[in-house]
Every structure is written in C-alpha cells, then in structure tokens.
Amino acid sequence: MAQLYTIKCPKCGKIFSVAKGVLMSWDFSKPIPDSAKDETPFNCPDCNHSMCVLDNGFHDNVVDVVYAD
C-alpha cells in the first residue's frame, strides 16, 4: 500500500505532495526505494525544512492523504 500525502510545510506554508509506503509492483525482486520508506525524511521544496512521517505532530501538517493499493 502507498500513501500520497499533501502537506503544508510548518515553516513556510508551502503545500506539496510526497509519496510514502510500499507500491505494489510486478517486479518483487527490486528493493523498496529508501525515499518511499516512512522513516526516510523529506524536505520542503521551497524552504528545505526537513520532516518525517514518523515525527511527532507530522499529521498536524497533513492537508490530505490518498491511499492506493
């Protein structure tokens, strides 16, 4: 399953999207990319503020979540 988060940066207010989680694929021999793992931080495209899905309060900045199988 994968989640597409729409996030409002807590530092600058920029709204952007980031995909996390396991995307189902026909090729199971490839490892999950680090960027798709929940524990891997990502940065705001405008101010470069770093955040992670596992951070306390992360979901306070989530505008929308789309789940996909």
Per residue in 47-65, pLDDT (tens digit) is 999 999 999 999 999 999 9
pLDDT reported for residue 26: 53
Torsion (CA) 17, 7, 15, 67 in degrees, nearest 10:
40
Could you write out the DSSP letters of every residue in 14-43? Answer: -EEEEEEEPPP-S-TTSPPPGGGSTTS-EE
pLDDT reported for residue 52: 95
Cβ count within 10 A of residue 53:
19
Residue ranges in the chain modelled with pLDDT below 50 = none
pTM to 2 decimals?
Answer: 0.80
Q: Whats the size of the chain, residue-wise?
A: 69
